[in-house]
Each structure stands twice: as C-alpha cells, then as structure tokens.
Amino acid sequence: MFGPRVVYGVRPNLQLSFASPFHVTHGEHPTGRFTAMMPGVPEAEVLAGWRFYHATPGIGTRNEATLYFGGSATTQKLPRSDSPPLKREPAVYAALAAGRVARSYDIWAGVGYQRYGEWETGISDHQSNTLLSSLAVGWRPPFLNKGYPKPDLRLFWETTGEEVGLARLQRTPGGITPGHGHDAQSAVARPFLSTIIPPPFSGTSILRNSGGTAVFSGPSLLCTYKNFAFQGGILFSLFDQPNGYQPRENVRAALGFSYYILGRRK
Amino acid sequence: MNLRFSLRIPILVLTGFLMAAEPLHAEYLKIQLRVYGLDCGLCARGVAASVERLDGVKTVDVNIKTGLLEIELAPGNTFKMARLRKVIRENGFRSMEATVTAIGAFNASAKFEVTGSGEAYDVAQGPDKDRAPVQLTFKIQ
C-alpha cells in the first residue's frame, strides 16, 4: 500500500491533514487502520488536529496532548474472497494522543476509533469499525545527541493494539446486492460464495471473515535533517486473532518520507 | 546673494522634516535567548527560519542541547524583543531569560532604554548622569 499524506499547520495548535492511501496490488488486506494517522483501506481522509494542551517545562522538553477528528470517503473498492466488495460508507475518525518529548527520551500514548456510517438508501452494507491504541517509547542515545544542524536520529519501540469489528453485507437471492455496484464483481465472487457462504438468501449477513483482534510490537526509527524526515519501522505480531478464515498477519512494516515547508534559512 | 539665502531656508526646513519622520533605529546588537521546548532539529530549524525573517537579524544560531538561541543584529536595526518573544510563542515554544547587548541610554525613570525601540529595562549598572548613549550587556527575564 502507498499512502501520500499532506499536513498543514494552520496555527501552532491547529493542523489539517489529508491522506489518501491506495493499494498498488489487489488481494485481501487488513481492514483496520494502517497507522493512527492513515486509513487502512483506500480512502481519502481529512483530519483536524487540535493541540489542546501544551507545556514546555524545561530545556528540550515538551508535554502535549492533541485531539484529532475527521472524516473519510472510499476511493477504491477492495476485493473480498468471500463476497463481492462492500459498498463502503463514509466514516468518521476521532483520536486522542498525549506524550512527553525530551532530548533523551519520548513517551507517547494514543487511542482512536473509526466508525463507518449507515446508508439511508436501503443498502445494509457496513464496513468494520476499528478501535485502536498505541504506546511508543523513544530513546535518543547519547552518541546520537549531536545537536542542530546535524541529522537528528531517535529510536522507538512501539506497541499497537486493534479491535476490528465485523463487516455486514446486504444480500439478495443469488448473492448479488443490487443497485450499488456489486454486480460487476459478483461473477468473480460467486465460486467462493458457493463454497463458503450458506445458500443464497435475502437480507443482511454478517461477514464472519472480517475483523479480529491483534497486538503488534516492534522497533522504529525517526531521522530528521534540514526540512526532511525519514521514518520506518517493523512490527511483529504478539497476538493475532482474526475472525473466520482470514490469514494471520505476522509482520507489518512501514516506511515514510516527509518534507516540511518551514521557510528558507539565510 | 539674497536669492540664494531665500532658497536655503525651505530646503533646510524640508530636510529637518524628513529626518524627524524617519523612524529611530533600535540598537540591539546581540541576544542570547533561552528557549524551552526545543527538542529536535526540525523545531530548531523552524524557529531559526522564523527569527531570521525579523527585521535587522543578521545571523541566528540554535543550540538544542542548551536551548540557547543566539542572534546577531545588523547596526541600525528596528528590532524589538517583544516581537522576538511573540515569534517564539507562535512557533509553540517558550522564551525565557536573555542576555542582551544593546546601545541605549538611561531614561528619566532610571531604566536603560534601547535606542529607538521604546523598550526599557532595569539593569544593575545604574543611571548614567549624562544620559549619554552607552553599549551595555545585561540580563533580562
């Protein structure tokens, strides 16, 4: 998955961000969030971050807490092996992150919840809601404490937990949901439906092969230099209990690159 | 002769008017300001870029280990400490004590007034009887 994200600091305590990840390959993917600040499915998401608490108790030290709120809309359908793609509703996302940053260490904790809306036009599809939490501890070893303008490098250990809910699909006899684009995908999905799904029926069915609970933990790295930031990490599964026949995830990896528009220096 | 003399008066008057209308320069020369909350290179770069855009600032150096922001100013600048502190606050940090080198004079309240800035400070040196401009280095909170 590739996920561009643009962040704009409107005020020192208010920022707006736009993220629109998309899949470069098709297939089954986790339906929880990719990161706290980026959806896990192809969606265009706008978030506002309000830093409602901010204190600077000492040299190189900050305590702060930020509330995020935003909404997203689907940009790309996700294929499913057990049904046609879901008609995804717009979602809202709210999160709270708080932490302490110092020259030698960081500690951050956060919790977020993404909830998909309900269609009002007789479509009963519903994407999994997601509850996630994260704890990150950062450390800047003395030999990396070089000072500006040399590259600034710090190491993190991050643990995330997520609870992804069950998805819901509206069915008609034959397993085709009318009126919102499932028809084109149904020919592909039908062989799976005949083996996995009970005989076709009308109404709403819970997709047992959706959602689950997982905890991941692992190292990550953040390096800033001039207006650039590079970040990357790898998370290993400590606990993974996907619902139904979904494959387990063993490893998650992410790599990020950021450019900050701070103005030119003389 | 008479003609030349009569022309000189309005020219002198006009020159005097232009000098009076020109803003007086502040004479901050060097500032070492302690800033709380600077914890990374990006913070330092953001603050430095903002401070460099202030009028009269010649160079800016940031030390994130000590939290010290060192600013050198060009002679004849229009710099104000209040503006500097506002920029630091707008960047999300807190400005603390500073060591300032400036040219100014003691005013009637026995405060050291930095020339043309309108900013005056209590300094330990005490008032100069002649109230002549002097260069001082002093600490402010």
Burial of B63 (0-12, 13-18, 19+ CB in 10 A): middle
CA A88/CA A117 separation, integer angstroms: 9
pLDDT digits (tens, 9 = 90+) for A210-259: 899 999 999 999 999 988 999 999 999 999 999 988 888 899 888 999 98
The count of CB pairs under 8 A between chains A and B is: 81
Choose the weakest-confidence range: A23-27, A77-81, A131-135, A202-206.
A23-27
Which pLDDT does position A216 carry in this prediction?
Answer: 95
| pLDDT (0 to 100) of residue B60 | 94
Give the mean pLDDT of B60-85.
92
**Which band of pLDDT confidence, cut at 50, 70 and 90, is reported for residue A27?**
low
pLDDT at residue B117 greater than cutoff 70: yes
**How do residues A108-162 score in pLDDT, each as one tens digit?**
999 999 999 877 666 778 888 999 999 999 999 888 888 888 899 999 999 999 9
Q: Does residue A156 lie within any of the structural domains?
A: yes
A15: chain B residues, CB-CB within 8 Å: none
| Best mutation target, B34, B35, B40, B73, to test chain A (most A CBs within 10 A) | B40
CB contact under 8 A, A61 and B40: no
Residue B97 has pLDDT above 50, yes or no: yes
Residue A248 has φ and ψ, to the nearest 5°, of -75, 150
Domain that holds residue A80: 5-259
Residue A265 lies in a domain: no
What does the alpha-carbon distance between residue B40 and residue B93 come to, in Å, rounded to a whole number?
12
Chain A hits for B72, Cβ within 8 Å: none
* Interface residue of A11, A62, A104, A224 to substitute, partner B, most B CBs within 10 Å: A62
The interface residues of chain A toward chain B in range 15-34, judged by CB-CB distance below 8 A, are none
ipTM above 0.85, yes or no: no
Supply the pLDDT for residue A262.
Answer: 74
Residue A204: per-residue pLDDT:
78
- Under 8 Å between Cβ of B36 and A58: yes
Buried b (16+ CB within 10 A) or exposed e, A87-122: bbbebebebebbbbbbbeebebebbbbbebeebeee
The answer on pLDDT for B16 being more than 50 is no
What percent of chain B is predicted at pLDDT more than 90?
A: 38
Would residue A127 count as lying in a domain?
yes
| pLDDT at residue B22 greater than cutoff 50 | no
Q: Do A60 and B41 touch (CB under 8 A)?
A: no
A12/B contact by beta carbon, under 8 A: yes
Q: Average pLDDT of A204-214?
A: 87
The CA-CA-CA angle for residues A107, A113, A116, to 5°, reads 155
Highest mean pLDDT among A5-9, A48-52, A147-151: A48-52
Residue % of chain A over a pLDDT of 70: 82
Domains: count for chain A: 1
Neighbours of A252 (CB within 10 A): 17
Give the best residue of B35, B38, B45 to mutate against chain A (max A CB count within 10 A): B45
d(Cα A177, Cα A161) in Å, to the nearest integer? 33
- Please indicate whether, in this complex, the C-beta atoms of B66 and A59 are within 8 angstroms of each other: yes
Number of other CB atoms surrounding residue B18 within 10 Å: 8
Most trustworthy range by pLDDT among A14-28, A35-49, B49-63: B49-63
CATH class of the region B28-140 = alpha beta
- The answer to whether residue A266 sits within a structural domain is no
**Residue A78 lies inside a defined structural domain of this protein:** yes
Asked if the structure places residue A180 within a domain, the reply is: yes
Q: How much is the average pLDDT of B14-39? A: 71
State the pLDDT confidence band at A194, using cuts at 50, 70 and 90.
very low
| pLDDT tens sequence across A71-106 | 999 888 777 777 777 777 899 999 999 999 998 999
In a domain, A140, yes or no: yes
Chain A residues within an 8 Å CB radius of B46: 260, 262-263
Of residues A190 and B67, more confidence is placed in B67
Residues of chain A with Cβ-Cβ distance to B67 below 8 Å are 59-60
In a domain, residue A264? The reply is no
pLDDT band for position B40 (50/70/90)? confident
Give the one of A56, A150, A152 whose C-beta lies nearest to B36's C-beta.
Answer: A56
Residues 6+ apart with CB under 8 A from B84: B31, B33, B51, B54, B71, B95
